[in-house]
Structure 1
Amino acid sequence: MNRRHDTALGHARVPDISGVSRDMSEEGRTRVRGREDLATFADQLLAAVEPYRSPAGSLITLPGTPGGYGTAVDGLEGFARTFLLAGFRVAGERGADPHHLLERYARGFAAGTDPHSAERWVRPTEHPQAKVEAASLALILDLTRPWLWDGLAPQVQEQIVDYLAEVVGDDTYPRCNWLWFRVTVETFLRSVDGPHRLEDIRADLALHDAFYSRDGWYRDGDERSYDHYVGWAMHLFPTLWARMSGAADLAAPRAEQDRERLDQFLSDTVHLVGTDGSPLIQGRSLIYRFAAAAPYWVGALAEVPSVSLGRLRRAALGVVDHFAGHGVPNERGLLDLGWHGPWRSLAQSYSGTGSPYWASKGMLGLALPADHPVWSAPEEDLPHESGDVVRTIAAPGWAVSGTAADGVVRVSNHGTDHALAGSSGGDSPFYARLGYSTATFPLLDAASWQAPVDQSVVLVDASGRRSHRSGMDTLAVEATGAAAVAASRARAHWLRPAEKQQLHGSGAQGEATDAGMLTTISVLHGPWEVRLVHLDAPAPEAVALEAGGWALAEDAGVVSEQTEASSAVGVVLSSRTHQAGLHGLTGWTAARTEHRDDASPLGAHTCVGVLSTGPAPGWYALALSLAGIGHLSAPPSVQFDAGQARIGWADGTGTAVILGDPSSNDQNHTPPPIRAHDLKERTTQ
Structure 2
Amino acid sequence: MSAAPLAMPPLDFSASPYTGLTRDHWCAYADYLLRSAHRHATEDHANLYLPGATSAYGRKSDSLEAFARTFLLASFRIAGDPEGTRWLANWYAKGLDAGTNPANPDRWPTPGELDQAKVEAASLAVGLALTREVLWDVLPQRVQEQLVAWFETVIGQAYPPINWVWFQIVVGKFLAGVGGRYSEADIDAGLAIHDTLYRGHGWFADGPERAYDHYVGWAFQVYPQLLQLMAPEDPRVTARAALDGERLADFLDDAVHLVGADGAPLIQGRSLIYRFAAAAPFWAGQFAGHTRLTPGVTRRAASGILKYFLDRGAHNADGLLTIGFHSEFPGMKQSYSGAGSPYWAAKGMMGLALPAHHPVWTAVEEPLPVETGDTQRFITAPGWQVDGTVSDGVVRIRNHGTDHANAGVRVADSPLYARLGYSTATFPDLAAESVDNAVTFADAEGRLTHRTGFEFLGQFRQDGVQVGASRFTAHWIEVDPDGGPDHGSGAAGTATPGPQVTVVSVTRGAVELRLVRVRSAAGSGARLRIGGWPVDTAAGLASEVRPVGWGGNLDDAGTWHREAPHPAGEHLAIPWVGTAGAVADADYAAVVVLSGEGSPTGTCGAHFVANGRFAFADGATIDVDAVFSRLGSSILRRNPRVHSTTSQR
**Fold match (TM-score > 0.5):** yes
| Higher mean displacement: 380-389 or 369-378 | 369-378
What is the RMSD computed on CA atoms of the aligned residues?
2.3
**TM-aligned CA deviation for residue 542 of structure 1:** 3.5
The superposition leaves residues 23-50 of structure 1 with CA deviations (integer Å, 9 ceiling, x where unpaired) of 2499999976111111111111111112
Aligned match for 1:156, one of 134, 143, 146: 143
* Separation (CA, whole Å) in 2 of partners of 1:25 and 1:153: 36
| Higher mean displacement: 152-161 or 79-88 | 152-161
For 1:582, what is the secondary structure of its paired residue? strand
Aligned match for 2:34, one of 18, 38, 46: 46
Q: Does 1:237 align with 2:223?
A: yes
Mapping 1:377-416, distance limit 5 Å: 377-416=363-402
The superposition leaves residues 392-430 of structure 1 with CA deviations (integer Å, 9 ceiling, x where unpaired) of 111100011111111111110000000011111111000
Q: Does 1:490 align with 2:490?
A: no
* Separation (CA, whole Å) in 1 of partners of 2:632 and 2:180: 63
1:198 partner letter: E
* Separation (CA, whole Å) in 2 of partners of 1:33 and 1:25: 13
**TM-aligned CA deviation for residue 378 of structure 1:** 3.5
2:119 partner letter: V
Q: Does 1:629 align with 2:611?
A: no
| Higher mean displacement: 271-280 or 629-638 | 629-638
Mapping 1:459-470, distance limit 5 Å: 459-470=441-452
Q: Does 1:91 align with 2:79?
A: yes
Mapping 1:14-93, distance limit 5 Å: 22-24=4-6, 33-93=21-81
* Separation (CA, whole Å) in 2 of partners of 1:480 and 1:100: 59
For 2:554, what is the secondary structure of its paired residue? coil
Instruction: State the match for 1:590 in structure 2.
Output: 556
**TM-aligned CA deviation for residue 600 of structure 1:** 2.1
CA contact (8 A) 1:403 1:409 kept: yes
Instruction: State the match for 1:288 in structure 2.
Output: 274
* Separation (CA, whole Å) in 2 of partners of 1:24 and 1:92: 22
Aligned match for 1:544, one of 522, 527, 550: 527
The superposition leaves residues 175-218 of structure 1 with CA deviations (integer Å, 9 ceiling, x where unpaired) of 11000000010110111121111111011101000000011111
Q: Does 1:505 align with 2:488?
A: yes
CA contact (8 A) 1:390 1:524 kept: no
CA contact (8 A) 1:32 1:321 kept: no
Instruction: State the match for 1:345 in structure 2.
Output: 331
* Separation (CA, whole Å) in 2 of partners of 1:500 and 1:641: 54
CA contact (8 A) 2:9 2:24 kept: no
**TM-aligned CA deviation for residue 293 of structure 1:** 0.3
* Separation (CA, whole Å) in 2 of partners of 1:428 and 1:395: 18
* Separation (CA, whole Å) in 2 of partners of 1:26 and 1:427: 42
1:254 partner letter: R
For 2:279, what is the secondary structure of its paired residue? helix
- Cα distance change on mapping 1:607 and 1:25 into 2, 3 Å: farther
Mapping 1:193-592, distance limit 5 Å: 193-245=179-231, 248-444=234-430, 448-449=431-432, 451-480=433-462, 482-501=464-483, 502-538=485-521, 540-553=523-536, 558=537, 575-585=538-548, 586=550, 587-592=553-558
The number of residues matched between the two structures is: 624
Instruction: State the match for 1:647 in structure 2.
Output: 614
For 1:427, what is the secondary structure of its paired residue? coil
For 2:535, what is the secondary structure of its paired residue? strand
Instruction: State the match for 2:645 in structure 1.
Output: none
| Higher mean displacement: 420-429 or 80-89 | 420-429
Instruction: State the match for 2:644 in structure 1.
Output: none
- Cα distance change on mapping 1:254 and 1:246 into 2, 3 Å: closer
- Cα distance change on mapping 1:32 and 1:601 into 2, 3 Å: farther
For 1:476, what is the secondary structure of its paired residue? strand
CA contact (8 A) 1:483 1:525 kept: yes
CA contact (8 A) 1:32 1:38 kept: no
CA contact (8 A) 1:32 1:324 kept: no
**TM-aligned CA deviation for residue 60 of structure 1:** 1.0
- Cα distance change on mapping 1:148 and 1:576 into 2, 3 Å: closer
**TM-aligned CA deviation for residue 610 of structure 1:** 1.5
2:543 partner letter: A
- Cα distance change on mapping 1:49 and 1:28 into 2, 3 Å: farther
2:41 partner letter: R
1:452 partner letter: S
CA contact (8 A) 1:300 1:309 kept: yes
Q: Which has the higher helix share?
A: 2
For 1:520, what is the secondary structure of its paired residue? strand
- Cα distance change on mapping 1:79 and 1:26 into 2, 3 Å: closer
The superposition leaves residues 81-111 of structure 1 with CA deviations (integer Å, 9 ceiling, x where unpaired) of 0001100001011x21445101111111111
- Cα distance change on mapping 1:308 and 1:26 into 2, 3 Å: closer
CA contact (8 A) 1:519 1:662 kept: no
Mapping 1:598-637, distance limit 5 Å: 598=564, 600-613=566-579, 614-631=582-599, 633-637=602-606
What TM-score comes out, normalization by structure 1 length?
Answer: 0.87
CA contact (8 A) 2:8 2:25 kept: no
Aligned match for 2:154, one of 156, 162, 167: 167
* Separation (CA, whole Å) in 1 of partners of 2:466 and 2:269: 22
* Separation (CA, whole Å) in 2 of partners of 1:175 and 1:128: 14
- Cα distance change on mapping 1:276 and 1:660 into 2, 3 Å: closer
Instruction: State the match for 2:16 in structure 1.
Output: none
2:576 partner letter: V
1:579 partner letter: A
**Mind listing any 5+ residue stretches in structure 1 that lack a counterpart?**
1-20, 559-574, 675-683
- Cα distance change on mapping 1:604 and 1:576 into 2, 3 Å: closer
* Separation (CA, whole Å) in 2 of partners of 1:264 and 1:75: 37
Amino-acid identity (%): 44
CA contact (8 A) 2:511 2:591 kept: yes
What TM-score comes out, normalization by structure 2 length?
Answer: 0.92
For 2:193, what is the secondary structure of its paired residue? helix
* Separation (CA, whole Å) in 1 of partners of 2:563 and 2:222: 37
- Cα distance change on mapping 1:486 and 1:599 into 2, 3 Å: farther
**TM-aligned CA deviation for residue 604 of structure 1:** 2.2
- Cα distance change on mapping 1:365 and 1:22 into 2, 3 Å: farther
CA contact (8 A) 2:100 2:150 kept: yes
2:22 partner letter: G
1:610 partner letter: W
| Higher mean displacement: 263-272 or 371-380 | 371-380
Instruction: State the match for 2:643 in structure 1.
Output: none
Q: Which has the higher strand share?
A: 1
- Cα distance change on mapping 1:646 and 1:663 into 2, 3 Å: closer
**TM-aligned CA deviation for residue 524 of structure 1:** 1.7
* Separation (CA, whole Å) in 1 of partners of 2:383 and 2:49: 41
**TM-aligned CA deviation for residue 540 of structure 1:** 1.7
CA contact (8 A) 2:62 2:341 kept: yes
**TM-aligned CA deviation for residue 510 of structure 1:** 0.6
* Separation (CA, whole Å) in 2 of partners of 1:293 and 1:116: 40
CA contact (8 A) 1:24 1:330 kept: no
Instruction: State the match for 2:15 in structure 1.
Output: none
- Cα distance change on mapping 1:537 and 1:662 into 2, 3 Å: farther
For 2:592, what is the secondary structure of its paired residue? strand
**TM-aligned CA deviation for residue 484 of structure 1:** 2.1
**TM-aligned CA deviation for residue 494 of structure 1:** 1.2
1:72 partner letter: K
CA contact (8 A) 2:8 2:28 kept: no
1:33 partner letter: L
